[in-house]
Amino acid sequence: IDLADSAGWQTLRDISANTNLLAKDSLHLCIALVSALNNQCDTFITEDGDLIKEANRYLKLKRLKQKLIVCTPKDFVKKFPPHY
């Protein structure tokens, strides 16, 4: 992901301005979201409950909830069980 383009930086600035996330978490969400918008990613998995809550609030605010799933590994496995 190239955040050097203006769209990437704008997304990062918007996340930082509209969430209560640490800079590192804003960057992680931005990379996942830009990837999702470019059809390169559809899930952001983390154990950080506060990040999940804030990321999902932001995605809902921006009407992007259908573009990116943000969840714990456990919730991911529940939603997408492995096929053996």
Predicted confidence at residue 4, as pLDDT, reads: 65
Residue with tokens 């992680």: 28
HSE (side-chain half, CA atoms, 13 Å) at 59: 24
83 Cβ contact list (under 8 Å, min separation 6): none
Convert the pLDDT of each residue in 28-84 to its tens digit.
999 999 999 999 999 999 999 999 999 999 999 999 999 999 999 999 999 999 888
Q: What is the pLDDT of residue 48?
A: 98
Mean pLDDT confidence for 5-29:
92
DSSP for 68-84, please give it.
-EEE-HHHHHHHS----
Average pLDDT over every residue of 17-36: 95
pLDDT computed for residue 7 by the predictor:
80
